[in-house]
Structure 1
Amino acid sequence: MHEEPDFFILGKAYITGRVVNAAIGISGEKIVSLTSPGNIPPSARRREYGDGFLVVPGMVDIHVHMREPGLEYKEDWRTGSMAAVKGGVTFVADMPNNKPPANNCNILREKLERAKRKSIVDYAFYAGFNIRPEELSKCKDLYIGGKIYPEDLYSPIVEEFARLIASQNKILVVHAEDPILLKPDAKILHSIARPPEAEKSAVKKTLELALQTGARTHITHISLADSIIEILKAKLAGHPVTLDTAPHYFLLNDSLYTTSRKNIAKVNPPLRSEKDRQTLYIAVNKMLVDAIVTDHAPHLLEEKLGEDPPSGFPGLEVALHLLLREILEGRMPIQVLDLYSFRPASLLGINKGCISIGCDADLVVLRKESWEIRPDEFVSKAKYSPFEGAVLRTKTHAVFLRGRTVYEEGEFYEDVRGKFYPLEAPTSYETLQDR
């Protein structure tokens, strides 16, 4: 690229695995230059951030539930995207379990129209499982991948669906739990109602599906040490499979199900044993997972406090800062940020999650500041969190979306609108890793 920058962002920045003093040059929506602050002209337009600030790429969350259309009372594209921005996230990939499900062209088009009007982050959609997969061929530009839920994984049509997604060079995302092994009993602990055996069985089935169809298969929100091991074995054998996990699986354990937070902490798959938590923590620490996601799954607080609460909780506003706490306190390397930015962007084939020439100018300015997680202060409609009371050490100070200020010092700039991202070009994860 040879464009002259319109303006620069100056300060300490996380670039290609390390923190350096940098002047990040932006032209239009892209990063067009990287140099040291002393090399830019004195007259150049700039935003300068001194001590106590760090510039990182915008985070990329490839597993969220914005709930719209159909469940807007839980969340909508406006509140959900504001939660993302406040948490330093500039791109989200939205799941299809709307009401009705986004497994056909009409609902996907409706979702796109709603997101265009409301979202202040960039976005993409997954298409839900359809027993007539060929129907989705009519609108393949509307989704970035396909999603399989537990009840879909054992359908006689699942191979046909997987082959369709593979033929379009899109990613197949699987929630791996065997529905036959689930025990729907509200009176027993959630981690017993959805036992480890359910995930292990479904992971095995998913690996077989990937081998049989050649679909680039991504197993999401892994909660077990055994699952990590099996998937890593498959990867070493050359199978087209990747995985992610979420902060709650490597920072929390199932002891919460014996406390007053048992409803709040209910999630699928459930929180697991301390041994599993420790193993997942090590896997994240050693960069053995391909991505971190939040599985941002908002409900109203009154729903979560009921006798049979729905599963899931919000995560967009705190995930990055939970990771930064672990980094700043010396328990994780700073490169873990790649698992929530560049690595997931690479999985989807989008040019985000990185501070390098040619990447979208999605930048997050963090400042050092201690604060306590108080869910009643969330911008999400979901005012609860299993992390309530945790003390974090960084806050989101400013966010730039493709070069435009979308958030600064607590104020949202809602004239900025997110952009829809279909899969940009056929590519491979390995190729993108080499960028």
Structure 2
Amino acid sequence: MNSTLILNACMVNEGKQRTCDVLIKEGQIEAIGSDLQHKTADRVIDASGLHLLPGMIDDQVHFREPGLTHKGDIASESAAAVAGGITSYMEMPNVDPPTLNMDALERKFARAAQRSVANYSFYLGASNHNIDQIRAIDPTRVCGVKVFMGASTGNLLVDDPDALDLIFRDSPILIATHCEDSRMIDANAERISVQYGGEVPVEMHPLIRDVDACYTSSSMAVALAKQHGSNLHVLHLTTAKELALFTAGDLVDKRITAEACVHHLWFSDLDYSEKGNRIKCNPAVKSLSDRDALREAVRSDLIDVIATDHAPHLLSEKNQPYMQAPAGLPLVEHALPMLLELYHQGVFSLEQIVQKACHNPAIRYQVAQRGFIREGYAADLVLVDLNVEQQVEDGSVRYKCGWTPFAGERFRARICQTFVNGVEVFDGTQVIANTDAAQALRFNR
């Protein structure tokens, strides 16, 4: 269908709620008004009682393609994403082979053009040796440079001070960092392994990957960014201590920004006894006081963006002993419903959720014509029902890995419809896998 008219929706956009109609034509929002019933369209949707949000822009996912597709792939995980109200994503470079050069990056774009249900972009990974590739990035096509500062695997670990200095000095686009200090983590792991005789319980995860390991690395990143005037975005903060590195205020005035992920806003170390390795992730889920400090930082604008860090693994991998189990959680299908549950709990307002998960990623990454409900913008839209419960269970997920850390939860909102560039890709029950709808993200840089 070339045109859709959404009537009587409660639109949540740019800090306000109002009942209105939205006309979509040729993939864009053509008109927004209080009385568009007279407009003609191929399809008319009466959205009375529903809320209309911009599609969530997730700036941090791991879709595992190429090389790790037994865990997930672009097709399966983007389908789960649109079912969860995520219409655009930015995918990470730690695949096999890692995305460290332009050829590998172009191959990922080509795969997504054939397989993705949601809009997409990809990070170029930084290494100790690829500064020339970073300097050659096309800023209008690539979302960012991902730097694993002190904690990663293989040649994605950037631990050479001279290489870090060049990256922060010369990157033509935003630098997104994973901040943990591997030497401190290794020392903690050795000490705790001796204490437990090698049988380390998962409850030790936030003590191995502890507050100081995070702060040491993130403070280094912030210092480098200040030294070079870099555009720095620190991913997935987990500690109250790190918040002192950032400033509150309007995002457009910042060159150093911070992000929180949905699982760190939901879980705390009190959940390890029940969830076990299902919530093992890097950086670790930490204390209840850390979680509550992150929530307050979202409300006070110390934290600018909410994302997922979606990172699926098979349950057979997760069910290994703690020290062998991989870190990472599948999250895209339930990230927005979880945030809406926090709305029901009084933690965040709807306006705050839209600001942090939709508007601010678009602003921070300078995404062209997305992230807002505005005339002339891409029709990336989500209709949600705030008053219909859903029971979350492993058996109902769309992830290739087949499980969710939210199994057993009951959320008081659900996604009714998702539109990507004006095309319905989720109808509330089924994903309509129309890969022609998705587009590569463009950036106004």
Give the TM-score of the pair, scaled to structure 2.
Answer: 0.88
CA contact (8 A) 1:244 1:292 kept: yes
**What is the match of residue 218 of structure 1?**
233
Deviation at 1:137, TM superposition (A): 4.1
What aligned pairs does 1:228-247 form with structure 2 within 5 A after superposition?
228-232=243-247, 240-247=255-262
Deviation at 1:199, TM superposition (A): 0.6
Provide the secondary structure at the position in 1 that maps to 2:374. Answer: coil
**C-alpha separation in 2, matches of 1:40 and 1:51:** 13
**C-alpha separation in 2, matches of 1:333 and 1:373:** 23
**C-alpha separation in 2, matches of 1:235 and 1:206:** 21
Match of 1:132 among 130, 133, 137: 130
Match of 1:162 among 143, 151, 168: 168
The answer to whether 1:396 aligns with 2:415 is yes
The answer to whether 1:319 aligns with 2:335 is yes
What aligned pairs does 1:190-339 form with structure 2 within 5 A after superposition?
190-232=205-247, 240-257=255-272, 259-307=273-321, 308-337=324-353, 338-339=355-356
Provide the secondary structure at the position in 2 that maps to 1:75. Answer: coil
RMSD: 2.1
CA contact (8 A) 2:28 2:376 kept: yes
Provide the secondary structure at the position in 2 that maps to 1:261. Answer: helix
What aligned pairs does 1:59-208 form with structure 2 within 5 A after superposition?
59-130=56-127, 131-140=129-138, 143-151=142-150, 152-155=157-160, 156-165=162-171, 168=172, 170-183=173-186, 184=189, 185=193, 187=200, 189-208=204-223
- Structure 2's unaligned 5+ residue stretches are 151-156, 194-198
**What is the match of residue 377 of structure 1?**
396
**What is the match of residue 433 of structure 1?**
none
Match of 2:371 among 329, 347, 353: 353
**C-alpha separation in 2, matches of 1:13 and 1:239:** 28
**Amino acid in structure 2 at the alignment position of 1:110:** R
The answer to whether 1:341 aligns with 2:358 is yes
**C-alpha separation in 2, matches of 1:316 and 1:88:** 8
Give the TM-score of the pair, scaled to structure 1.
Answer: 0.90
Deviation at 1:190, TM superposition (A): 0.6
Provide the secondary structure at the position in 1 that maps to 2:117. Answer: coil
**C-alpha separation in 2, matches of 1:16 and 1:228:** 25
Q: Compared with structure 1, are the counterparts of its residues 233 and 340 closer, same or farther at alpha carbon in structure 2 (3 Å cutoff)?
A: closer
Q: Deviations over 1:97-155 (max 9, x none)?
A: 11111011221121111111110000001100131311344453652210111334532
**C-alpha separation in 2, matches of 1:174 and 1:213:** 15
**What is the match of residue 19 of structure 1?**
17
**C-alpha separation in 1, matches of 2:410 and 2:119:** 29
**C-alpha separation in 2, matches of 1:234 and 1:6:** 39
**C-alpha separation in 2, matches of 1:225 and 1:385:** 26
**Amino acid in structure 2 at the alignment position of 1:221:** H
- Structure 1's unaligned 5+ residue stretches are 427-435
CA contact (8 A) 2:149 2:181 kept: yes
Deviation at 1:419, TM superposition (A): 1.1
The answer to whether 1:406 aligns with 2:425 is yes
Tell me the matched-pair count. 415
Provide the secondary structure at the position in 1 that maps to 2:384. Answer: strand
**C-alpha separation in 1, matches of 2:259 and 2:39:** 44
**C-alpha separation in 1, matches of 2:424 and 2:413:** 19
Q: Deviations over 1:189-241 (max 9, x none)?
A: 111111110011011101111012221000000000111122228999x8720
Q: Deviations over 1:228-277 (max 9, x none)?
A: 122228999x87200000122122111223x1422111001101111111
**C-alpha separation in 1, matches of 2:249 and 2:228:** 15
**Amino acid in structure 2 at the alignment position of 1:274:** L
Q: Deviations over 1:331-386 (max 9, x none)?
A: 32111221110111111111212111222110111123111211221101123333
Say which is worse superposed, 79-88 or 359-368, in terms of deviation: 359-368
**What is the match of residue 431 of structure 1?**
none
Say which is worse superposed, 373-382 or 178-187, in terms of deviation: 178-187
**C-alpha separation in 2, matches of 1:358 and 1:53:** 23
**Amino acid in structure 1 at the alignment position of 2:381:** L
Q: Compared with structure 1, are the counterparts of its residues 342 and 239 closer, same or farther at alpha carbon in structure 2 (3 Å cutoff)?
A: closer
Q: Deviations over 1:373-432 (max 9, x none)?
A: 11221101123333221110111111111111111131222233321124x222xxxxxx
Identical columns (%): 27
**What is the match of residue 153 of structure 2?**
none
Deviation at 1:322, TM superposition (A): 0.9
**C-alpha separation in 1, matches of 2:382 and 2:238:** 29
